[in-house]
Amino acid sequence: MSKLKRLLKEQIKTSTDASIVSIDEISAESAATLHALNSREAGGWRSNILKIFDDKGSLIKRVMDKFYVGYGHKSIGDCGPGHVLVDDLSMLAANALEHNPLFSGQETSSRYVELSDKGFVQSGNLIVDYWTEQWLDFYSKNLSIVIEYISKQYPCPVHEKPINWEKAIKSRACDIMGSFLPSGAKTNMSIQMNLRQFADFMDKTIYHPVNEIREISEAIIESLQLKHPNSFKFKKYASTEEYKKKVSEFIFKGSEKTSDWNFSTNICKDIMIDFLGDLVDRPEKTELPHEVSELGQIDIQSMIDYRSFRDLHRQRCISFKMPIVTAKHGFEDWYLKMLPESVREEAASLLGVFEEVYDDFVDDESKKFIMQYAVPMGYKVPCNGIMTLNGAVYVTDLRSGLPVHPTARIWAIKLADELEKHLPGLKLHTCRLPDQFVPDRGKHDIIEKK
């Protein structure tokens, strides 16, 4: 059966004679071409499918050249989804590649997965690589000790499945010990964006000050070009590329504003209540409409450990300034308090020596980017973000829950406190229970069905 015949059989007709079909077995470029044809001809999908595929279902390349490249507007690339998988990149690089409000994808979760066996990305600097390895060794050596320590604190009840309980214990230990993972530790990630988004964002990261991130960005474009040869054929101009370099420096230079906590908003409480009307009484697990963005914005300057920054940074509803990971702002105490005494003493000793080395090393400002690889993720960084009201409410609801990383929860609850103070009458669903062991985390897993 030809592709058209099969789609005609699958189509759903409405009472007003609209014809609807879902198609997902085509490539990104062919999908973009189909959308382009739809904008220029009135024949609809029943006509345009024949121009994209032959009777055997194979793509007709000539149409791709004519309609996708020659369309004359980058927006048609929005209609072609692309998938990229990246293994063995640093956590630092993964964070940079996620710094896009349109990012969609996943990263290997260090909250659930022990990552010490993956090793770390070599920076090429002996001091940096030495300390990156030191922290990875510390993590690897002590993770099992912390798991045993937590197991004694929380013995498995008779009504719980031991396998789920053990997973929950390990996840808690990974939460704690993950603070000692250096930012150069290896991880894996997958990215799904449309072709235009890939092209637009990689134009920034190919000029990133860190060499690893530049190389990965260039490789992503090369990989996409192999799969989609009719895309990414944009003419380059020297002046434009020079400007893109400056943009990249601006994006990734780090935040100069450092404040433990500063909240400000131009949203007026009375106007908000009048605007929302009955919608102010929002039930749990629902979101405010996007239209509340016209009320104004919220600006937060704060500090948080880099591990939890990466968690909050994945919330696409907040525009965060990208920080530089340093040892200048102190190590988050919560992680140290969770350790057994012997491990805590060893950690404190290592941190003290590392901070002395760090201060000497980054005395040369040009070395601060490469030293990021060796900085453990428990160190605090500026966490400065701008958000609309719906974004702020979404984050307080979502990131205050007990399964969320404890230091990220503290940030979300603090945000909720500010919203209640400045915008009384706004209904929030913030979880304010104290941090505690959550056994349900042991069920948050992917298991092959037998």
Q: What confidence score (pLDDT) does residue 39 get?
A: 61
Look up the pTM and report it: 0.86
> What average pLDDT score do residues 169-196 get?
90
Q: pLDDT tens, 136-174?
A: 999 999 999 999 999 999 998 888 888 888 988 998 999
261-327+379-443 folds as: Gyrase A; domain 2 (3.30.1360)
> What average pLDDT score do residues 46-64 get?
64
Task: Inform me whether the pLDDT recorded for 48 exceeds 70.
Answer: yes
Query: Residue 67 phi/psi, 5° resolution?
Result: -100, -30
* Closest CA relative to residue 142, chosen from 331, 330, 339, 306: 339
Q: What percent of the chain has pLDDT over 70?
A: 83
Give the Cα separation of 174 and 188 in Å (integer): 17
Task: Inform me whether the pLDDT recorded for 43 exceeds 70.
Answer: no
Task: Inform me whether the pLDDT recorded for 76 exceeds 70.
Answer: no
Task: Inform me whether the pLDDT recorded for 6 exceeds 90.
Answer: no
Q: Which of 23-27, 166-170, 238-242, 300-304 has the highest mean pLDDT?
A: 300-304
Q: What confidence score (pLDDT) does residue 70 get?
A: 46
Q: What confidence score (pLDDT) does residue 349 get?
A: 97
Q: Domain spans of the chain?
A: 3-79, 81-110+185-208+210-252, 261-327+379-443
Q: pLDDT tens, 87-146?
A: 888 999 999 999 988 888 888 888 778 877 888 999 999 999 999 999 999 999 999 999
Q: What confidence score (pLDDT) does residue 40 get?
A: 61
